[in-house]
Amino acid sequence: MATQHAIGIDIGGTGIKGAVVDLGSGQLVSGRRKVATPEGGRPADILTATGELLAGLSDEFGDALPLGVCFPAIVKHGRTLSAANISKEWIGLPAEELFEDAFGREIHFINDADAAGYAESRYGAAVDADGLVILTTLGTGIGSAFLYDGVLVPNTELGHIELDGREAEKNAAYSAMARDSLDWQEWATRLQRFYAHVEFIFSPDLFVVGGGVSKHHEQFLPLLDLKTPIVPAVHRNNAGILGAASLAAY
């Protein structure tokens, strides 16, 4: 019996990428395709660009595979309730329905950080983890995903909690390093404030740190003093693709 496959598409502020995923192993069974996110990130333009990417995968693998799409927004009942690094026109749109109508197929639509967290729970740093796992993605902002015994609790937005009079991500996102000319120790001090606060509120069993900076985890994770284990994510560039594909099939 062949292992089931699904398509995952990850829509970001600069690029749209997608691939076919082996749901048993979490490996890509196609090349990872990528197109640029259209300037301005308006709905019609993103739909067109996504359609071009999907057409290439469908030509190679057919159009019967489950399809999941992850997106930089709060997604509730298929509607996008926010917009990060894309057009504000997305706010309040029935995005899942728009994509389904455009492509003529059922789609599972999800927040991008939630997809990354689900990928880590199925194929990465949080496989078989008990209790509450909190994934955070450190980049331009701070994305987050909660998984309890492997079950996703969607649409957490830890980057927007208020700490010291500001949104936490303004001080502690990876982008703050360059903006405020911080070294690793100085940035880690800000991360300590953020993670200690989250730890106190939610008492997690594991933190997983994703985002591109996680490849430099040895520079900052050892500087943090937490009661909760904190580990780097395994899947960085492919996490959204893996999570979107997996959630589309289950």
Domains in the chain with CATH codes: 5-114+238-249 (3.30.420.40), 129-232 (3.30.420.40)
Q: How many Å apart are CA 91 and CA 79, to the nearest integer? A: 8
List the pLDDT tens digit at each of the 250 positions of the chain: 345 999 999 999 889 999 999 999 999 999 999 999 999 999 999 999 999 999 988 877 877 899 999 999 999 999 999 998 899 999 999 999 999 999 999 999 999 999 999 999 999 999 999 999 999 999 989 999 999 999 999 999 999 999 999 999 999 999 999 999 999 999 999 999 999 999 999 999 999 999 989 999 999 999 999 999 999 999 988 999 999 999 998 7
Smallest CA-to-CA distance from 13 within 75, 115, 84 is with 84
pTM of the model as a whole:
0.94
Q: How many Å apart are CA 138 and CA 231, to the nearest integer? A: 13
Smallest CA-to-CA distance from 245 within 74, 37, 3 is with 3
* 122 and 248 Cβ atoms separated by less than 8 Å: no
